[in-house]
Structure 1
Amino acid sequence: MPASTPPTDVPALPEKPKRSRTGWFVGLGIAVVAAVVAIVLVVVNVAGSGAATAGKVTVRIGTTEQAAPYWPILKREAAKQGIDIQVVGFRDYTQANPALADGQIDLNLFQHLQFLADYDVQSKQDLVPIASTLVVPLPLYSTKYKSVDAIPQGAKIAIPNDATNQARALLVLQKAGLLKLKNGGNTLATPADIDASASRVSVIPVDAAQTAPALSSADGAIVNNNFALTAGLDPKSALFQDDPASSTAEPYINAFVARDKDKGNKTFLKVAELYHTKAVSDAVLAESKNTAVIVQKPQAELIGILDGLKKTIAEAK
């Protein structure tokens, strides 16, 4: 298809009290500080299996889509299982993976496998998918033309400029017959791979959030589903999109992601399982206006896809 800013609700250690001149007060102060620090450490220690509180296990999940309507439903279903889901919102795609790697959250849910592979390789981390969720198509929109065939020679198309979504956008435009990539392109393609002499359009890389606004000036734009819906674009008006059910869409499967040591955590796997209950899935599909495809692949298969993508990225460096 986005340095971490720690979530504001992560407990902070108390300030160290000023030293008293009286020995008795010093001893009492040390005891109080030790007790408080011990309590705080218990609260903060959520990395391995969630924090147990009042008979419930707390699982903190980072996302860039904290306002999505399926979260209250997922939280309600989890509560029935004794799991308290705390949704931790991040402003953009660059923050949720570092927060997970640092142990500030237990899971995250915002990215596809290609994005995760790039992060793991670039940051030398070992975050892994523990369960799949969905694939969302990547569509081409235009406010000037009603079909792909109507787009003229020399037209300019805005595409996301982040590495993973940019490559996917180029593959979409190639599939639509609007441009040609040297050697067919791959999930690491960049504008430099465009065969200009064999292409009908050129591209304008912009921030993913600016692709929808770019429709006012460009001839078309590849717009991620979340930004398209925010901008009020109707998915049915898309001129073209990739097929989310095809094997070529595997790099773009979205997933619950955890640290490698937690990939077998039963509580985390239960949360992922609850995502696929009918109530949650129906809300997810409704939000996407039925453009998304729910995906259920075994964890081992997801990790295998991730490892293949990481190998490709590493070899290209």
Structure 2
Amino acid sequence: MRNVLKSVSILATAGLALSLTACGSDSSSSSGSGPDAALTVIASPTPHAQILDYVKKNLADAAGLKLEVKVVTDYVTPNTAVQDGSADANYFQHVPYLEDFNKKKGTDIVSVGAVHLEPLGLYSKKVKAVTELANGATVGLPNDTTNEGRALKLLADNDVIKLKDGVGTAATPADVVSNPKNLKWKELEAAQLPRSLPDLDAAVINGNYAIEAGLKPAGDAIVLEKAAGNPYANILAVKKGKESDPRVKKLIELLQGDKVKQYIDETFKGSVVPAS
């Protein structure tokens, strides 16, 4: 996946501690651990960093929290940054993705709490309903393990395909047992799917990347995940052992508070929804 700083530079993971750019911060220091040190949180641009910036500008001072937000657009750097200590926390992922990452990479990152859900959606520039997909149409899927399974489950839940019994969100294209429209799969990095959409018949796109690309999940998706009972709420995460850091506790309290919930509802209008 590409490690790109939003509107700043190409980010090399190896140079993370030196090259991450703070969003809404004038501090260039690395993350600290003292109670008065700034809490450094690495996040995806939208809506994660946007929500954190709201907290920083409107709520953090009154709570006695110094907050530094650093932005990347890939799904690997935030966890490696937390693991190696160049960031205190991250905010970009859901628990199934985190568990899969920990298993594959040998990291020990844990969830502090859920903040919001970005419904996954099927988008198309060529059809207005899933029933209009032509025989042999090409559908883009995110190629990371948890989101690909989630995407296939979305299609299965809407009777586009049928998956092997019991496979759930661990599904891959090999688990498709019925494909009436003979759909073809194009597996791409999640961040690439919005700009690849014109070349595809349809694509299942993560909510944050859809919003960044100017899509409105609540109105533009031809199929959209339901929020009720959804296990894919995005979380604040830290390296195991840091859950009790008073700064982390303050931040999750703010992120789960009524003011942030109201901000999410008013700003994203159903394209992002509070986790509870």
Q: Please give the secondary structure, in 2, of the residue aligned with 1:233.
A: coil
Q: 2:173: which partner in 1?
A: 191
Question: 8 Å contact 1:59–1:84 — kept in the other structure?
Answer: yes
Residue 142 and residue 61 in structure 1: after superposition, are their counterparts in 2 closer, same or farther (change >3 A)?
same
Summarize deviations over 1:69-88 as a string: whole Å, max 9, x none.
33332113111122100112
Shift of 1:117: 0.4
Question: 8 Å contact 1:5–1:95 — kept in the other structure?
Answer: no
| RMSD over equivalenced CA pairs, Å | 2.4
Residue 244 and residue 257 in structure 1: after superposition, are their counterparts in 2 closer, same or farther (change >3 A)?
same
Residue 74 and residue 121 in structure 1: after superposition, are their counterparts in 2 closer, same or farther (change >3 A)?
same
Q: 1:208: which partner in 2?
A: 190
Q: For 1:132 and 1:230, how far apart are their aligned partners in 2?
A: 21
Q: 1:27: which partner in 2?
A: none
Residue 45 and residue 134 in structure 1: after superposition, are their counterparts in 2 closer, same or farther (change >3 A)?
closer
Q: Please give the secondary structure, in 2, of the residue aligned with 1:291.
A: coil
Q: 1:268: which partner in 2?
A: 248
Q: For 1:160 and 1:59, how far apart are their aligned partners in 2?
A: 31
Q: 1:8: which partner in 2?
A: 18
Summarize deviations over 1:226-254 as a string: whole Å, max 9, x none.
221222223202111121222xx21x121
After superposition, where does 1:212-251 map in structure 2 within 5 Å? 212-235=194-217, 236-246=219-229, 249-250=230-231
Percent identity of paired positions between Structure 1 and Structure 2: 28
Q: For 1:159 and 1:241, how far apart are their aligned partners in 2?
A: 14
Q: For 1:284 and 1:162, how far apart are their aligned partners in 2?
A: 27
Q: 2:54 aligns with which of 70, 73, 86?
A: 73
Q: For 1:4 and 1:278, how far apart are their aligned partners in 2?
A: 38
Residue 45 and residue 225 in structure 1: after superposition, are their counterparts in 2 closer, same or farther (change >3 A)?
closer
Summarize deviations over 1:88-113 as a string: whole Å, max 9, x none.
22241110111111111111111111
Q: For 1:181 and 1:292, how far apart are their aligned partners in 2?
A: 27
Q: 2:10: which partner in 1?
A: none
Per the normalisation by structure 2, the TM-score is 0.83
Count of aligned positions: 254
Q: For 2:204 and 2:264, how far apart are their aligned partners in 1?
A: 22
After superposition, where does 1:107-122 map in structure 2 within 5 Å? 107-122=89-104
Q: 2:25: which partner in 1?
A: none
Unaligned runs of 5+ in 1: 11-42, 297-317
Shift of 1:158: 1.0
Per the normalisation by structure 1, the TM-score is 0.73
Unaligned runs of 5+ in 2: 3-12, 21-28
Q: 2:40: which partner in 1?
A: 60
Q: Which amino acid aligns with 1:240?
A: V
